Structure 1
Amino acid sequence: MKTATTKRRITKTATMRAVVGAAALVLSVATLTGCSNGAGNGGGGGGGTGDASKAKIGLLLPDSVTARYASADKPLFTAEVKSKCPGCSVVYANADGDASKQLQQAQSMLTQGVKVLVLDPFDGEAAASIVQQAKQKNVPVISYDRLIDSADLSYYISFDNEKVGELQGTALVAALKAKNVAEGSGIIMVNGSPTDNNASQFKAGAHKVIDASGYKVLAEYDTPGWDPAKAQDWAAGQISKLGADKITGVYAANDDTGGGVIAALKSAGVKKLPPVTGQDASLAGIQRILSGEQYMTVYKAFKPEASQAADLAIQLAQGKKPAADTTVKTAGGASIKSFLLDPVAVTTANIESTVIKDGLYTASQVCTSEYASACSSNGIK
C-alpha cells in the first residue's frame, strides 16, 4: 500500500520526466529544422543566404596544356572579382584534363560553401553531374567558355564558336589562294578535343568554308584533351603516310595543336611550311606568326569574357538574375541564357592593333631578341 508521501514523490518524478521529455522534443525539432535549412541553403551558404560581400566563388578550369588558362583566364577572373567585390574570394582548381578530377574538385568547392560555380568543363557531358549536384545545394553554375550539356545551367559565357571555325577556314583558304595553290590540293585538319562541345562547333564552322573551297581534306583528327603531343604524333604519321609535299595547308583548331603540327613538319625536314591556323592568341602562337611558321590565330578577348563572368557570378551571389543577350541550345536541346563575344582573326597585319593594344601582351613580351626584327618589320614597337 502506497503512503501519501510516496504518492507525492511519484507525481513529482512524473512531472520532471514530462518537462525533460518536452525540452528534448523542442531541441530535436530545432536541430532537425536547422539541418533542413542548411541543406536548402547549400550546406554552408552556397547560393542561398549569407553575406554576399564575402562570397566564395568557385572557378574550375579544364586543363593545363592550353596556355591561356594559366596566363589569362585565371588571373583576369580573379582580378575582376577582387575589383568588383573586395571581400569576395575565388576558390580555384584545374582539372588537368581529367573529368573525374574536375568532379571531385567541384564537390570540394560545394562542401566549402561556394555561392556560385564558374565552370569551364573538360568534358561537357560529364560535367552535367556537377551542375546537378550544385543545383541540389542551390548553387548556380555559369558555363564558362565551353558549353555544358545541362538544362540546369544558369548562364553560358563564351564566343560565337562556329564563327571561330569560319574565321580559321576563311583565313586558310585565303592564304592558299594567295600562294596560288591549285584547287584540289590537300589539307589536313587537326581538330580539338572530342569531349569539348566548342571543338565540334569550330570544326563545323571550318568545314563550312573548306568544303566549299575546292581544296581537299586529306585526313582529320580529333585531338584527345587538346594535347599538343598527340597532335604532333598524328601529324607525323600523316606526313609519313601522305608525303610532306602533299600537305599544302593545315587547319589546327588552336595554337598549341598547331605548334605540334609545325614541330612534326620541321622534324620531317620541311623548310617551307604550309599555312597553319590557330586559336587563343597564345604568346608562342603570336611569335610563330611573326616568324612565319604559323599563318594566323583567332583572338578571343579573354578580358571581357572573364570580366563578364566575374560580374555575373557576383550578381548571382547577391541573388540577382540579370538579363542575357541571347540564348544558346545545349546538345540536349535546352535553351541557356547566354552572352556571346565576337572573335577576331589575327595575322601579322593586326597583332599590334589587337593583342598588344588590348594589353594581353606588351610589345616587349612579344618582341624578344629572336623576334625583334620581325616586330620592327610589322610596325610593332
Structure 2
Amino acid sequence: MRRAAVAVAAGAMAVSLAACGSAKESKDSSSSSSSSAKKGDDIKIGLLLPENKTARYEKFDRPLIEKKIKELTNGKAQVEYNNARQDANLQAQQVDTMITNKVDVLIVDAVDAKAIQNSVQKAKDAGIKVVAYDRLAEGPISAYTSFDNTQVGKTQGEALLKALGDKAKKSTKIVMVNGSVTDPNAKQFKDGAHSVLDGKVTIAKEYDTKEWSPDNANSEMEAAISSVGKGKIAGVYSANDGMAGGIITALKSAGVKVPVTGQDAELAGVQRIVSGEQNMSVYKSYPQEADVAAELAVALAKGTSLDTIAKDKVSSGSATDVPSIIVPVVSLTKDNIKDTVIKDGIYTVADICTSDYKAACAKLGLS
C-alpha cells in the first residue's frame, strides 16, 4: 500500500476528463506564466475555500497553504483569505473583491465548479491567474491540483465489498449517499464507486446530498431505512466522513449496524473507525495537496514556468491541457491508523484516544 505522505511526483497520474474547450483558451492559460513579467517574493495571493462544514478546510488546507506560500517567498508574500460557507454567490463576490485588491494569483476551491466560470474569466481578464484547488473549476484556469477522485470512489467501493465479505452478492442491498451535484469531484467519486459496486450488489436507494450536509444525509438515511427496511440494508456507501456521521446516527436510531464508508479522515471519522461504527475512510494527504497548490500559485505569481512542477494535463468543459498535479490516496482502516494519520502528524494518539475511545484504542495498540 502506498502511503500518502511520499513526495508528489510532478508527473504523478494522468487524469482524463471531458474536453470541449477551445485550443486558444487552453494555450492562453497554459502559457500565461511564461508571458508574465517576472516578480520577486513580494507577491499577493488570494485563497478562496468553499465551506466550513467539512473540518479539513479551516483545520488543514488554509494553514498549510499559507505556511507553504510564506516558506516559498521568505515570508514576504501576502495571502488574502475568504471562505464561501457553501454559497456560490458569496464566492463570486469574494472573487470580485480579490480582483479589486489586485492579487497576482487566485487559489480557488469552487463551491460550484460551473457557476464559478464567469468569475474565473473575470480574473483572467484582470490579468490574474487561477489555480483550481481540489475541484476542477470551469473557465480559463492556469493550473489544477487534486486527488485521484475516481480512485477515491473505487477505494471506497472496494472497502465496502471487502467488509460485506460473503454477503457481497447481487441480491444484497446497499444504500449510496453521494456528494453534492455542484461538486465535480462528487461525480467522480460516485462513478468510481459504481464501477466497483455495480453488478456485485443491489443499490436499493441512492441520493445526491445537497451541500455535503450531514443533516441531509441523516434524513436521506432515515428515508432509505423506511423504504428498504432496516433488516434489508447490508451496507452504506457514504461519500465522506461528515455525511457518514449523519448516516450512522440514523442507523443507530433504527438499531442497525452495517459497514459505512467515508472520506477525508476527519477526526470524528477516525474515532468512529476506532470504535467500529465506521468501516473506513479515505486518507488524502492535505499537506501534499496544499504544498502543490502553493508551489503552483507562487510560480504563476512570479511568472516562472510550470513545466518542472506540473507535467500532467487535464481538461474540463471549458479548458484543455491544463498543467496539473494529481495526488494519490490511501484506504484508511483501523489497521493502518498508526501508519497514516498519526505517523504523518495529522493527529496525535491523544487527539484520537479521548476518554470515550480509550478502551477501543487500547485494543488497536494505540497508546
TM-superposed CA distance for 1:90, in Å, is 1.2
Match status 1:79 vs 2:67: yes
Please name the residue that 1:65 is paired with. 53
2:51–2:83 Cα contact (<8 Å) kept = yes
TM-superposed CA distance for 1:48, in Å, is 5.9
1:48–1:138 Cα contact (<8 Å) kept = no
Give the paired residue count. Answer: 330
Match status 1:216 vs 2:202: yes
Question: What are the equivalent positions in structure 2 for 1:292-331 lying under 5 Å apart?
Answer: 292-323=276-307, 324-331=310-317
Higher helix share: 1
Please name the residue that 1:156 is paired with. 144
TM-superposed CA distance for 1:149, in Å, is 2.0
Distance 2:318 2:204 in 1: 32
Q: Say which SS state the counterpart of residue 80 (structure 2) adopts.
A: strand
Please name the residue that 1:7 is paired with. none
Match status 1:237 vs 2:226: no
Cα displacement string for residues 337-373 of structure 1 (whole angstroms, at most 9, x for unaligned residues): 1100101000000011011111111111111111112
Cα displacement string for residues 226-249 of structure 1 (whole angstroms, at most 9, x for unaligned residues): 111111111111111221111111
1:292 maps to a residue whose letter is: G
Match of 1:104 among 90, 93, 99: 93
Please give the TM-score of this superposition, normalised by the length of structure 2. Answer: 0.87
TM-superposed CA distance for 1:64, in Å, is 1.3
Please name the residue that 2:325 is paired with. 339
Question: What are the equivalent positions in structure 2 for 1:240-279 lying under 5 Å apart?
Answer: 240-270=226-256, 273-279=257-263
1:125 maps to a residue whose letter is: K
1:58–1:91 Cα contact (<8 Å) kept = yes
RMSD over aligned CA atoms reads 1.5
TM-superposed CA distance for 1:335, in Å, is 2.8
Larger radius of gyration: 1
Match status 1:360 vs 2:349: no
Match status 1:185 vs 2:185: no
Please give the TM-score of this superposition, normalised by the length of structure 1. Answer: 0.84
2:45–2:104 Cα contact (<8 Å) kept = yes
TM-superposed CA distance for 1:305, in Å, is 0.5
Q: 1:238 to 1:99 in 2, by over 3 A?
A: same
1:48–1:139 Cα contact (<8 Å) kept = no
Q: Say which SS state the counterpart of residue 278 (structure 1) adopts.
A: coil
Distance 1:222 1:181 in 2: 23
Tell me: higher relative CO, structure 1 or 2? Use CA pairs within 8 A at least 6 residues apart: 2
Distance 1:303 1:280 in 2: 13
Match status 1:92 vs 2:81: yes
Question: What are the equivalent positions in structure 2 for 1:191-206 lying under 5 Å apart?
Answer: 191-206=178-193
Structure 1, unmatched stretches of 5+, are 1-46
Identity over aligned residues, as a percent? Answer: 46
1:209 maps to a residue whose letter is: V
Q: Say which SS state the counterpart of residue 111 (structure 2) adopts.
A: coil
Structure 2, unmatched stretches of 5+, are 1-34
Cα displacement string for residues 46-89 of structure 1 (whole angstroms, at most 9, x for unaligned residues): x9669542211111011111111111101111111122220112
Question: What are the equivalent positions in structure 2 for 1:1-80 lying under 5 Å apart?
Answer: 52-80=40-68
